[in-house]
Amino acid sequence: MLDYFRYHFGIKSLGDITWAHAVNSQEKLGSFLNNRDTMFIESDILLGMRGDLIAAHPPSTRSNLTLKELLISLKTSKQGLKLDFKDPEAVYDALDVLASMDLQQPVLLNADILQGPGGKPSRFDPEEFVSSCLEKYPRGILSLGWTTSCDPGHGYTDEQIAYMLDAGKVLTEVTFAVRACLLPSSWNVLQRLIEKDRYSLTIWNNEEVGKELQIWIKTHTDPNKTMYDLLDQDNNQLQVW
């Protein structure tokens, strides 16, 4: 993945990768497609009201952007694609559609496969998600995360990290999606996730990342092992580096 973005975008590290988050409409796709300032387009994938595969974030079940339309558009671009699965029932068919498109760029396949700090039980079966991705789209790069809530007093636990490492043990390249607000309270255990080569973190947020936390992230994380999918208060990419 890094070699691809180095070649096409001239970056030096994973931390240089830029993102367009929640691209779940034709209008938003049009804003970011083939934009040199955006290296990864991220869309949420689920089954719509009519059983079709669409780009939408729960609780919405409507969208004017289908998965097939999204993939056809990406064929004209060098940008990477991140598919964030919100519905386990959508995974198998979505991977079939993805495989039929023969995209040349990196594709991240993301799901919250485990219950994390303050999170609800995951809807996904970890082993089934990983094995389905490997079977149907082996070129994809797994992005594995936890269900969470933002309570900085409760971070990721040793047990949660151990379960995740076990879920990803068959993967040679993987990124683990971790919530920014939980980093300081659980950094000692999170570092276990990136001990292997080609294992990385993707730091994301669903709430403001204040100056203090930004400084913490810059001080403690390594851009060679970390991607920063962070938004500011205006839902624009937050530049940490």
Domain that includes residue 120, residue range = 2-229
The CA angle 38-57-20, to the nearest 5 degrees, is 5
Is residue 139 a part of any domain in this protein? yes
Is residue 140 a part of any domain in this protein? yes
Each residue's pLDDT tens digit in the chain (241 positions)?
Answer: 999 999 999 999 999 999 999 999 999 999 999 999 999 999 999 999 889 999 999 999 999 999 999 999 999 999 999 999 999 999 999 999 999 999 999 999 999 999 999 999 999 999 999 999 999 999 999 999 999 999 878 899 999 999 999 999 999 999 999 999 999 999 999 999 999 999 999 999 999 999 999 999 999 999 999 999 999 888 888 888 7
Is residue 236 a part of any domain in this protein? no
Is residue 239 a part of any domain in this protein? no
Q: Give pTM, 2 decimals.
A: 0.96
CATH classification at residue 15 = 3.20.20.190
Helices 67-74, 88-101: axis angle to 10 degrees equals 30
Is residue 235 a part of any domain in this protein? no
In the chain, how many domains are there? 1
Is residue 238 a part of any domain in this protein? no
Please, what's the b/e burial string for 77-90 (b: 16 or more CB within 10 A of its CB; e: otherwise)? bebbbbbbbbbbeb
